[in-house]
Amino acid sequence: MLNNKVRTRFAPSPTGYMHVGGLRTALYTYLIAKKAGGIFILRIEDTDTARYVEGAEEVIIKTLRDTGLIYDEGPDIGGPVAPYRQSERKELYKTHAQKLCEKKAAYYCFCEKEEKDDTVLLVDVCRDLPYEGSKQRVDAGEPYVIRMKAPKEGETTVDDVVFGKITTPNKILDDMVLIKRDGMPTYNFANVVDDHLMGITHVMRGSEYLSSAPKYNILYDAFGWEIPIYITVSPVMRDAQNKLSKRHGDPTYDDLIALGYLPDAVLNYIALLGWSPGGEQELFTLQEMLEVFDISGISKAPAIFDIIKLNHFNSEYIRKMSPEEFTEIATPYIKKAIHNENISIDSIARLLQARCEKLSDIPEKIDFFEALPDYETDLYIHQKSKIDKTIAYDMLIAAKSGFENLTEWTNEPISYMLKEMAVDLDVKNATLMWPVRIAVAGKSVTPGGAVEICEILGKEEVLRRIKIGIEKLK
């Protein structure tokens, strides 16, 4: 252990966007390190050139920065810290694999097989070839892979924080490839070498790697290295049967941000997908997570991603913002729908903050401010308040007269006038307010009620829309 510190790593492959499960792994590894005052490392596992996606590394780094998961260490510390990249450490892996060959814990395999068959082999005719003869063939330029020589007797036990002790009979383990024909390491081998050389003390992986864990231990033992603490997390699921998957249309982190979710809300929600902090509190800042995080709270049961629950989290984060903060982030979305410079952006933002689940909903919620939609008169009917089209017509006639005589056009005078008019008409406030809302918005569901909408639209536009409503109801 370097400097006796806890050291963790997030080690994604640059094969696309940041998935929810990947970000959760990054968060947990960050929390483990920082809770202990340790080091959090980013390592890009880019040895699989066939799956490499241009720009994916930049997406990973940007996501970590946007969510506050700042990594501490890289190969060069001058300006922004660069991540470790396995492609830049190619010779290092080859050297370590050759050492295992010398120790007869691995061997050179010359069999001609399809690349897809290279990683799975239970019996290999090259396994028992003399090392000296194999080395001569390698030096002569014959193509080869290097395979681990898995023991065929006994058993290997893996100790995992979440899943406990898992024992595997060695006879079912294959001689997995360590170095491929192109000289690049396999994912499993490069992980073991890097985790040791970087002093990683706690290794977090998805449960799909549980079956490979015995082979990791065999490699650690072959090198004479200390085995790190394993922490296995179960997958994030779309439902009880299916994992979240981009190919099936499930959102990535970038998709969620584009849909109008806040980074802090997303991070908070995914933290609770498989980890329980205990108690009733659900909303945590990153600093608050650090204070309460404990590995023992990680569950082995898969967690189901619930977009409705995420909506709740996001709306709570929106409400916690100051009006100025919300106006700033909401303005680009408001401007997608509102181009009329006479409409107050600040006033619309005040209406939205308490009624908004995600930012991308904003344009559809407020488009009626820009232009009155063509609506059906059935909207005026309200069964609960016993409003039919005849009553709605009478209410709009009265409201038109009241609006025409109103001299001060702000919230309080508008509200006072309408409430007094309801008293004069001997109807409930809702009986008058509902037809006015439909007339000025053309929608039954709006951010804010009739008074707030009227104030923002202005007297001239309100009267124009009231007249349209009267004509529709004639």
Residues annotated as catalytic are 246
Non-local CB neighbours of 216 within 8 Å, separated by 6+ positions: 158, 188, 191, 192, 227
Which residue is listed with tokens 């399809």?
114
Q: Are 58 and 197 in contact (CB under 8 A)?
A: no
Q: How far is CA 4 from the centre of its chain?
A: 32
CA dist 370 and 350 (Å) reads 17
Q: Which helix (H) or strand (E) holds 17?
A: none
Of 355, 382, 375, whose CA–CA distance to 452 is shortest? 355
Burial of 322 (0-12, 13-18, 19+ CB in 10 A): exposed
DSSP H or E run through 177? strand 177-179
108 CB burial (10 A radius; 0-12, 13-18, 19+): buried
Q: What's the per-residue H, E or C state across 230-292?
A: EEEECCEECCCCCECCHHHCCCCHHHHHHCCCCHHHHHHHHHCCCECCCCCCCCCCHHHHHHH
Backbone phi, then psi, for 15, in 5-degree steps? -115, 10
Residues 6 or more apart whose CB falls under 8 angstroms from that of 461 comprise none
Write out the DSSP string of 89-134.
GHHHHHHHHHHHHHTTSEEEE-----GGGTT--S--TTTTS-HHHH
Single out the residue of 141, 131, 122, 133 nearest to residue 98, CA to CA: 131
How far, in Å, are 7, 145, 174, 191 from residue 223 at the CA level?
20, 19, 19, 14
- Residue pair 198/43 in contact by the 8 Å Cβ criterion: yes
d(CA 144, CA 142): 6
